Amino acid sequence: MLFIVLGGPAITRREFFLSQTVLSAAIRAHQGHPTGHGTQPLPNLLDPDHLTPFVDPLPIPQTAVAAGQRRSPDKSGVNLPYYRIAIREFTAKVHHDLPATRFWGYGGSVPGPTIEARSGQGVLIEWPNELPLKHFLAIDHNLMGADATNPAVRTVVHLHGAKAPPLSDGYPESWYTPGKSAVYHYPNEQESAQLWYHDHAMGINRLNIYAGMLGLYTIRDSTEDALDLPKGKYEIPLVLFDRFLTPQGQLYYPVSSRPEAPWVPEVFGDAILLNGKLLPYLEVEPCAYRFRILNGSNARFYHLSFANGLAFSQIGSDSGLLTAPVATKILSMAPAERCDIVVDFSAHAGDRFILRNDILDIMQIRVTRASTVKSAALPKTLRPVPKLDESSAVRTRILTLDEVDDLLDEPVTHLLNATRWHDPVTEKPVIDTTEIWSLVNLTDDAHPIHLHLVRFQILDRRNFDQTLYRYKKTLRYTGPAMPPEPGEAGWKDTVRADPGMVTRIIIHFSGYTGRYVWHCHILEHEDNEMMRPYEVVAAT
């Protein structure tokens, strides 16, 4: 492995972004890949370092308000809270010194309004498509489901992390056009967790989410209520997503050097927005706060920490609470992952802290002199997470993560198990059974793999002989099995599959039969074939 160490004098945000691009190219060259010319040179873009930091307060997404009640579509026939959240174009200022930015999103904000739900109490949400007829980002018509015969503007909503019936899951081909609408039923038959909703339209998902189509969905339950965790104004959502901005404050999405095929393998913007603001500040009291963090970026992995090394406790991950708090000073998050942390500022009245990603400042926290509350100590145990027993698995599947390159060894597509989207369904787990999926990563990238419908547990990660597997399909491990990191040891719905490793997850398929999908959550990969349908089938 080749390493490039960044050290010495401080570097700018733009220099750091460019260093990441150079590092990626250097690694490919070191591994025998020409660097190619895949991405068009970036135009004149805004340098966030030229903006005055920490002049805008961190906005908190509004909580959605039910518009009434409607009858449940299931056999119960009970009345459920009904929400109507329109998908439309709007403008919003991401920084005090920039003009308003054009976005597409939910309910006229980015992130969209937060839906608050209770475990076991279902809701109905109508998602009207009120977008313009023309997309403002470049569509690659060569991608699956994005051919020019389809309307340019399409959407379908996926509630990420939900145990939802297939007709309400947001299947990528179930998109609909401006002027149309869809009503989805979310039963919420699951434990407390931080979910999120986002676009899932086949072939343009990366563009729609980049345009702003994402929001939070919080499920709560009595177990969580009893823990006396920080709540109300002391519970802060943090939705992170990176973008490129023009000097006029508008979104720019990179394209390839080929006008007829604008897709690029990944997008790493140098403007990191929190709740839709660039370099905001947050004023807190000297007490404990709970931060519910979502990595909503297309491709960026985050490594979050406080500049002065302040420690905090992780209490939850994707699909709910951990068994016990995990003390840490850094939080690593792949795209689509969520982390639930508690930070205690009780001993820091009057101090200021900088939240960073790697070496880049992204938010300032200002601690006031006094607090209206006294922080309770975190409980030593949070929630039981019964371990799924490997012996209960009725099947183990060996599934590869693949990259297909062109003659210049530049990626042209990414695949799951060397299989394309429209090939026949090969994964058909039986309802109420358990399986182990071994994700064999044959690429140079870490891939965040997400399964719809289900939650799972990470068993381990292990190095293997890639050459032997490529040529003989023989899986030979070359190192010991590494257990999940402490912050990954609870329930997950997205797992980081590292390069050159086999990542094993154990899954119990329950809830519903029907057609769902699994995919990489690097959105550029997902849009270019790194997504596959799977079908939960009834027992025979």
pTM of the model: 0.94
Domain ranges for the chain, please list them: 1-35, 56-225, 390-536
Q: How confident is the model at residue 371, as a pLDDT?
A: 85
Could you list the pLDDT tens digit for every one of the 540 residues in the chain? 222 233 334 455 555 555 554 344 333 333 333 233 356 777 899 999 999 999 999 999 999 999 999 999 888 889 999 999 999 999 999 999 999 999 999 999 999 999 999 999 999 999 999 999 999 999 999 999 999 999 999 999 999 999 999 999 999 999 999 999 999 999 999 999 999 999 999 999 999 999 999 999 999 999 999 999 999 999 999 999 999 999 999 999 999 999 999 999 999 999 999 999 999 999 999 999 999 999 999 999 999 999 999 999 999 999 999 999 999 999 999 999 999 999 999 999 999 999 999 999 999 999 999 888 888 889 999 999 999 999 999 999 999 999 998 766 677 899 999 999 999 999 999 999 999 999 999 999 999 999 999 999 999 999 999 999 999 999 999 999 999 999 999 999 999 999 999 999 999 999 999 999 999 999 999 999 999 999 999 999
CATH number of the domain at 56-225, please?
Answer: 2.60.40.420
Q: How confident is the model at residue 375, as a pLDDT?
A: 80
440 half-sphere exposure, CB direction, 13 A CA radius: 19
DSSP 292-350: EEEE--SS--EEEEETT---EEEEEETTEEEEEEEEES-EEE-TT-EEEEEEE-TT-TT
Q: How confident is the model at residue 405, as a pLDDT?
A: 84
At a CB cut-off of 8 Å and minimum separation 6, what does 499 contact? 441, 443, 444, 445, 446
Q: How confident is the model at residue 39, as a pLDDT?
A: 63
CATH number of the domain at 390-536, please?
Answer: 2.60.40.420
Q: How confident is the model at residue 77, as a pLDDT?
A: 83
How far, in Å, CA of 41 to CA of 406, rounded?
20
- Helix or strand or coil: residue 25? helix
DSSP 527: H
Tell me whether domains 56-225 and 390-536 share a fold: yes
First and final C-alpha spacing in the chain: 49
Residue 118, number of CB atoms within 10 A of its CB: 16
Q: Is 432 left (phi over 0), alpha (psi -120 to 50) or beta?
A: left
Please answer whether residues 84 and 69 qualify as being in contact, where contact means their C-beta atoms are separated by less than 8 angstroms: no
How far, in Å, CA of 201 to CA of 170, rounded?
8
DSSP 524: H
